[in-house]
Structure 1
Amino acid sequence: MMDFQQRFKTSPEVIASAPGRVNLLGEHTDYNDGFVLPTAIPQRTTVAIGFSADDRHHFYSVELNESVAVVPADSPPQGFASYVYGCIRVVETAGHPVPPLAVFVTSSVPIGSGLSSSAALEVAVLRGLRSLLQLDLDDVKLAQLGQQAEMQYAGVSCGILDQMACSLADSEHMLFLDTRTLDRQLLPFPTGAEMVVIDSGVARSLATSGYNQRRAECEAAAHQLGVKALRDVTDPQQVASLPEPIRRRARHVITENNRVLKVLAGISAPEFGALMNASHASLRDDYEVSVPALERLVEILQAMPDVFGARLTGAGFGGACVALVAAGQAQAIATNALNLYNRAGYNGRILVG
């Protein structure tokens, strides 16, 4: 595999990385100031950063085999480079000059699977910049800068969930996060349970999917209910007077927040799984972000012995499914589920399990 030295004819100054994430509960709640429950996955994005040999930024992605050169004063690039450039620009906007850089990106986080490949890239780049430029930025500030980069330079009106998870979560715990206050705590996985994540093989793009539309619908619902955000409504009955489809969009967010909060009390694996199943039904029926491939995969997982619950994870419109399963059974369950899924004509792959 080509490395930084081969590509740029010099050595990197710093190397940094960040994990992808899977969200166990709390989908489409973060941009509504709500509650989320992600965990980090083993797959990571790694960046090597050095100084450019000329007056341009040079970015290279191993997985995409794509090279981009950017004059710092030019308009933002497209594709993966927009995230890297966006991180540089938000650091500069925060008052920290950035010289022309060479950035070499490699990643095992699947792209378009709902596992935060973009946020992992942003956090890795920002960690690299923090080290290279000796910036006084904590992990929360890094997440906030990553969110700004994605919104301003990649055109996705994202919440803070993905960047906070990639910056602060680990793979041994669940990260409970209040996205309004950024209060957070690490919680243990339910006793006797572990996680399976399977990619449906159907990629999706947030900027071109219905993501921004859903966000606008939620803002319209909050406005009609007279609240700052849907987080401020706790009773699903309060949305009964709203017109469709924003009534159903709001109902999903309210019930999803309530599901996440139930976990704080400490619940069993079967109870947690039931919440995941309810979350999926809400994402399918009220939020309408599922697709046939995800439905088939979730159906297969939910029907298997030793599976407590399963749901789509990420924004939907494709991507991955996550399941909570009996400890010690993840590998067998993932293999059997994938075989059934692919036999049905799909092309999935196991990501965790």
Structure 2
Amino acid sequence: METEIHQKLYATAIKHGLDISGGQVRRSSSRFCFGVEHGDYNGMELFGVGTDRYIWLAYKPNTTGHIRIFSENFPEDGVVELAVDRPADAGSLLNSWARFPHGVAHVLQREGYALNTGFDAVLYGNIPGGGMSRSASLALNLILTYLEVNGIEVLDGMRIVDLAQMVETDYIGSPCGKLDQIMIYFAKAGMGTYFNPNTHSIEHVPFGGNPDAFRIVSLDTGTKRPGLEKSTYKVRREECEDIRAQLAAEFGYQTLADVDSEATYLAANRHLQAVAPASAGKRLKYLYEAQCRFADTLAAWRAGDIARVGRNFRADGIGLRDDYEISGPELESMCDIARTVEGVYGERMLGGGDKGASGAIIDAEAFEALSTAVTRAYPLAHPQYSDHYAVHVCQITDGIVTEALSV
């Protein structure tokens, strides 16, 4: 597949007058989070893996001081061109993927990185449009490319994560946390990535059993989310900040992760019942219960108990649906179908919510049955997406890989 992708990128470059001959290809992964989904902006521990739905960027430095880049996924935009040291204002690029190359140039220069060298590039990605972190993958890929062609070395991985978040929050206006960037940048093939926000540390955790005994599956609904800034995600972030402010005033909590025991949860919930909308208690309920499940999920992964990981994954999904109310009808249809299939350990919506992909953790022998069930039932439930949905087995993969363009 990699050779075919390289050939595709090279042919596209020739077609659009871009010179990438003898250049490089950087591949950035998607991610699959085991917990705590939506915990990153609430100060909680995170655990997940990189998955093999990718963005590929083929590139070669040029001497023009301009970036010229074409996306196979958005051909209607043509070749996007910008002076590397003069990115456009975000307001002039609304609803265009070109916000990302402009945003990366803007953030890097604002943060003190001198950009002088441009490059020609072609992009192609097969990450679903919501749920598996397409935007974070793109931002990371572009940042690393800008830095490399300009001879800038940044050894601190968390600094790269921070820069990628800034592109989305400060330039694009998407209120994302750091879960996606962390899970992609630090991902290692065959390993889970555990992030402890208290120590800002990364631990790579091998699965304690037979990794060939289970599969991770992407259930792409065929729907596309326009961006976190236009989704329910933004509303939930604002709600969580309001809840945190209420609890900080009453109990001195710095994040909602401080609600970490039955006693603190019951006290916080009583307070919210008195001063906040009823929805606040539901949001806190999901976060508290998901945080309680997190340690068990991590322990189950270490022990090789994928069925227990799946049960917690399913419980998180029910909480995201009923208490956090961040899912959507197509996402839940995929989950409803998956729950009918023997050998599916757990399923839930993925990512920021509303649209995109759900995910499932399954026995290795259950994929054909799951795929058949989805093929039979999903088009009946959502005929408008009958030509757009997909079911993919995902491998646990490295987050970032760079290699010579091979054609």
Which residue of 1 is the match for residue 238 of structure 2?
216
Distance 2:196 2:311 in 1: 22
The letter of the residue matching 1:131 is E
- After the TM superposition, list the runs of 4 or more consecutive aligned residues in structure 1 that deviate by more than 4 angstroms: 51-56
- Percent identical among aligned pairs is 24
CA contact (8 A) 1:14 1:128 kept: no
1:157 aligns with 2:175: yes
Q: In the alignment, which residue of structure 2 is the partner of 1:237?
A: 266
Q: Any conservation in 2 of the 1:17–1:127 contact (CA below 8 Å)?
A: no
Which segments of 5 or more consecutive residues in structure 1 lack a partner in the other structure?
Answer: none
* Structure-1 residue corresponding to 2:142: 125
What displacement does 1:231 show? Answer: 1.2
Q: Is the 8 A contact 2:20 2:58 kept in 1?
A: no
Counterpart of 1:16 (choices 23, 26, 40) is 26
User: Residues 222 and 230 of structure 1 are in contact (CA less than 8 Å); yes or no, is this contact kept in structure 2?
Assistant: yes
Farther-moved stretch of structure 1 (336-345 vs 288-297): 336-345
Maintained 8 Å contact 1:306/1:325:
yes
Single out whichever of 217-226 and 243-252 deviates more from structure 2.
243-252
Which secondary structure does the structure 1 equivalent of 2:114 belong to? coil
Which TM-score applies when normalising by structure 2?
0.80
Which structure 2 segments of 5+ residues have no match? 1-7, 395-407
**Deviation digits for residues 297-316 of structure 1 (CA, Å, limit 9, x no counterpart):** 10111121011111111111
More helix by share: 2
Are 1:239 and 1:251, in contact at CA under 8 Å, matched by a contact in 2?
A: no
Distance (whole Å) between structure 1 residues aligned to residue 368 and residue 122 of structure 2? 30
* Pair 1:289-2:326 in alignment: yes
Write the distance in 2 (CA, Å) between the matches of 1:37 and 1:210. Answer: 23
> Which deviates more from structure 2 when the two are superposed, residues 89-98 or residues 291-300?
89-98
TM-score (norm 1): 0.91
Counterpart residue number, 1:68: 80
Query: Contact conserved, 2:61 with 2:118, CA < 8 A, in 1?
Result: yes
Question: What is the Cα deviation at residue 272 of structure 1?
Answer: 1.5
Tell me the distance in 1 between the aligned counterparts of 2:99 and 2:69: 10
**How far 1:234 moved relative to its partner?**
0.8
Write the distance in 1 (CA, Å) between the matches of 2:140 and 2:355: 24
Match of 2:101 in 1: 84
Please tell me whether residue 143 in structure 1 is matched to residue 155 in structure 2: no
1:329 aligned residue: 366
- State the match for 1:278 in structure 2: 315
**Which of these residues, 157, 160, 181, is aligned with residue 199 of structure 2?**
181
Q: Choose 1 or 2 for highest CA Rg.
A: 2
Which of 193, 210, 213 is the equivalent residue of 2:214?
A: 193
Deviation of the 1:167 alpha carbon = 0.7
In structure 1, the residue matched to 2:393 is 352
Shift of 1:245: 1.5
The farther-off stretch of 96-105 and 198-207 is: 96-105
Superposed counterparts of 1:34-53, under 5 Å: 34-51=44-61
Q: Distance in 2 between the 1:148 and 1:99 partners?
A: 21
Q: Tell me: CA distance 1:238–1:81, structure 2 relative to 1, closer, same or farther (3 Å).
A: farther
Higher relative contact order (CA 8 A, sep 6+): 2
Check whether the contact 1:198–1:349 (CA below 8 A) recurs between aligned residues: yes
State the AA in 2 paired with 1:344. A
The code of the aligned residue for 1:59 comes to I
Deviation (angstroms), 1:42: 1.0
